[in-house]
């Protein structure tokens, strides 16, 4: 099969997993009106996020162990079955439970496609293929609330989930036809490590959402136990031993800071626009379009430039510098109500800078890893970024709530954008430590790879 067919398949799979992260947000009032129990409504969103983050490293390791195609089909099957259960749910408890299972499948949909690309495309060309996948993720994050609202208003909130069934079945057929088959690779799966990591992630999400000190302490103990387990495991789910390799550690830090700085702030941009400019919800939502455009241009532009010239190191440096400068400008202007086109331009530049490096660092980490751990490293990068998103959304949300109560949204977002600028400034410092070596121009031949 051609790379074009493979790529089209992976775009569909990634889009499915990304859409369901935020598609429920605009449908929640209708869901609560239909099913009741409004105090349980937040878990319809949180359950998916929790399962998504917790299962990401496991899917990476399972892909290395059993093959990407087999695990991708399994992830789609779980996702489709859980989507059907969501659509049939008769109460919010059942819906939240089905969303938890759906998030487990979604983790495979968001991590395995990047590892499939790594198997098929040499590192130097890889960012050009990963860029559009990242752009699809960003676009789906912005578009999905609009799609969810439209389906809720014109059909039913249940079709938010039932729509996944035919799309998922089509994706499974495409995966079966175009994704190469891989024989089993790694000899074992670290079940204990996967359970500990899932428990640690769940504790982190719950402590962030609930602000519970007791849960935070328990999560810290779980994190320590997970670290010790993964350092000693022969086939760890989370490749902590690779953090001893300076390029891998730096890429992990950049993914974390990017998750906090970009995706963490996106959730509150519409709130800021509405509160500061007194616009409609529609206008505030449209202000996310420059962000999406910036991410897409950054990821695709840097990917194709690396493919053409082979030089990648300037992009993390330039991207962090551009994002830090844009966020600092937003911090200085947020209380002064600059014209909306100026605000849109600065948001575009903030996203463009992040887009320049977020997919590049995935490729660099893959290239710096050891043979047979591509899926593991890829999933770990996605996991770290997702943790950054959760932590960033919670931390920045607390700043918004506290600042809005004292000085209004303008003053609150002065602090928020200052923190974002500091994140990207730290990222620039990390990027200075990246090596200057070129990416490999070809993949090593692997006896494990065959085609259906």
CATH number at residue 82: 1.20.1250.20
CB-based contact 298:356 (threshold 8 Å): yes
* Radius of gyration (C-alpha) of the chain in whole angstroms: 21
Q: How far is CA 438 from the centre of its chain?
A: 26
**DSSP helix/strand/coil, 181:** strand
9 occurs within a structural domain: yes
> How many CA atoms lie within 13 Å of 112's alpha carbon, on the beta-carbon side?
36
- Both 254 and 228 in one domain: the answer is no
- What are 181's strand-pairing partners? 450
Token duo for residue 383: 């996991």
Residue 446 lies in a domain: no
End of a domain among 234, 250, 268? 234
Q: Could you give the angle at which helices 3-22 and 164-178 cross, rounded to 10 degrees?
A: 150
Residues 246 and 157 in one domain: no
182 backbone dihedrals φ, ψ, rounded to 5°:
-125, 135
Enclosing H/E stretch for 12: helix 3-22
Same domain, 223 and 255: no
What integer pLDDT is reported at residue 450 of this predicted model? Answer: 36
**Is there a single domain that holds both residue 360 and residue 432?**
yes
Q: Please report whether residue 451 resides in a domain.
A: no
Whether 445 is in a domain gets the answer no
Per-residue pLDDT of the chain (452 residues; tens, 9 = 90+): 577 788 888 888 998 888 888 788 778 888 888 888 777 777 887 788 888 888 888 888 888 888 888 899 999 999 999 999 999 998 988 999 999 999 999 999 988 998 888 888 888 788 788 878 878 887 887 788 778 888 888 888 899 999 999 999 999 999 998 888 766 555 677 888 888 888 888 888 777 666 667 888 888 999 999 998 888 887 788 878 777 788 889 999 999 999 888 877 777 787 788 778 887 766 777 788 898 889 989 998 998 888 888 789 999 999 999 999 999 999 998 878 889 999 999 999 999 999 999 989 988 888 887 666 777 888 888 888 888 887 787 778 778 877 766 767 778 888 889 999 999 999 999 999 988 887 776 665 433 333 33
> Are residues 135 and 215 both part of a single domain?
no
222 in any annotated domain: yes
Residues 267 and 307 in one domain: yes
139 within some domain: yes
Contacts for 66 with CB less than 8 Å, ≥ 6 apart: 184
203 shares its domain with 278: no
Identify the residue whose tokens are 């500091």: 422
Only one residue has tokens 């569909």, namely: 12
108 within some domain: yes
The pTM (predicted TM-score) of the whole model is 0.81
Q: Looking at the structure, do residues 230 and 246 belong to the same domain, yes or no?
A: no
Question: Does residue 449 lie within any of the structural domains?
Answer: no
Q: What is the pLDDT of residue 451?
A: 35
Helices (H), 121-190: 123-154, 159-162, 164-178
Which residue range is the domain that position 195 belongs to? 190-234
Q: Do 13 and 57 reside in the same domain of the chain?
A: yes
Is residue 103 within 8 Å of residue 201, measured between CB atoms? Answer: no
Q: Say if residue 200 is in the same domain as residue 278.
A: no
Q: Using N-to-C axis directions, what is the helix angle for 68-88 and 3-22, rounded to 10°?
A: 30
Cβ–Cβ contacts within 10 Å for residue 432, how many?
Answer: 12
250 and 208 co-located in one domain: no
Same domain, 228 and 260: no
Domain count, the chain: 3
pLDDT, residue 422, reads 95
Read off the tokens for 68.
Answer: 């990407």
Residue 449 is predicted with a pLDDT of 38
């Amino acid at each position: 099969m051609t790379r074009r067919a493979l790529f089209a398949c992976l775009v569909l799979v990634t889009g499915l997993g990304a859409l369901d992260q935020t598609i429920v947000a605009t449908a929640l009032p209708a869901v609560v009106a239909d099913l009741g129990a409004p105090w349980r409504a937040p878990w319809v969103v949180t359950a998916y996020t929790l399962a998504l983050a917790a299962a990401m490293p496991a899917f990476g390791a399972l892909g290395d162990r059993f093959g990407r195609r087999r695990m991708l089909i399994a992830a789609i099957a779980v996702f489709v079955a859980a989507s059907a259960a969501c659509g049939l749910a008769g109460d919010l408890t059942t819906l939240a439970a089905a969303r938890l299972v759906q998030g487990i499948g979604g983790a495979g949909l968001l991590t395995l496609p990047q590892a499939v690309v790594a198997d098929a495309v040499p590192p130097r060309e890889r960012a050009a293929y990963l860029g559009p996948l990242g752009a699809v993720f960003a676009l789906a994050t912005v578009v999905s609330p609009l799609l969810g609202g439209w389906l809720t208003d014109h059909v039913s909130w249940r079709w938010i989930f039932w729509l996944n069934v035919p799309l998922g079945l089509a994706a499974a057929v495409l995966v079966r036809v175009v994704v190469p088959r891989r024989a089993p690779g790694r000899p074992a799966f670290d079940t204990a490590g996967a359970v500990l990591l899932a428990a640690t992630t769940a504790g982190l999400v719950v402590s962030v959402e609930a602000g519970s000190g007791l849960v935070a302490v328990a999560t810290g103990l779980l994190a320590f136990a997970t670290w010790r387990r993964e350092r000693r495991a022969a086939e760890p789910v989370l490749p902590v031993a690779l953090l001893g390799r300076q390029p891998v550690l730096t890429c992990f830090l950049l993914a974390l800071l990017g998750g906090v700085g970009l995706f963490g702030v996106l959730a509150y941009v519409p709130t800021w626009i509405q509160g500061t400019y007194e616009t409609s919800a529609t206008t505030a939502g449209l202000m996310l379009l420059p962000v999406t455009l910036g991410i897409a241009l950054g990821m695709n532009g840097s990917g194709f430039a690396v493919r053409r010239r082979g030089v990648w190191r300037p992009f993390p440096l330039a991207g962090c510098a551009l994002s830090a400068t844009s966020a600092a400008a937003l911090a200085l202007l947020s209380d002064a109500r600059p014209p909306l086109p100026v605000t849109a331009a600065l948001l575009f530049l903030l996203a463009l800078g992040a887009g320049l490096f977020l997919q590049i660092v995935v490729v660099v980490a893959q290239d710096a890893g050891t043979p047979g751990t591509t899926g593991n490293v890829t999933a770990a990068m996605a996991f770290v970024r997702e943790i950054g998103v959760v932590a960033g959304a919670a931390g920045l949300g607390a700043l918004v709530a506290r600042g809005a109560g004292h000085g209004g949204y303008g003053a609150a977002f002065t602090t928020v954008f200052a923190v974002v600028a500091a994140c990207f400034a730290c990222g620039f410092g990390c990027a200075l430590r990246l090596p200057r070596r070129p990416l490999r121009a070809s993949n090593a031949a692997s006896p494990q790879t065959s085609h259906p």
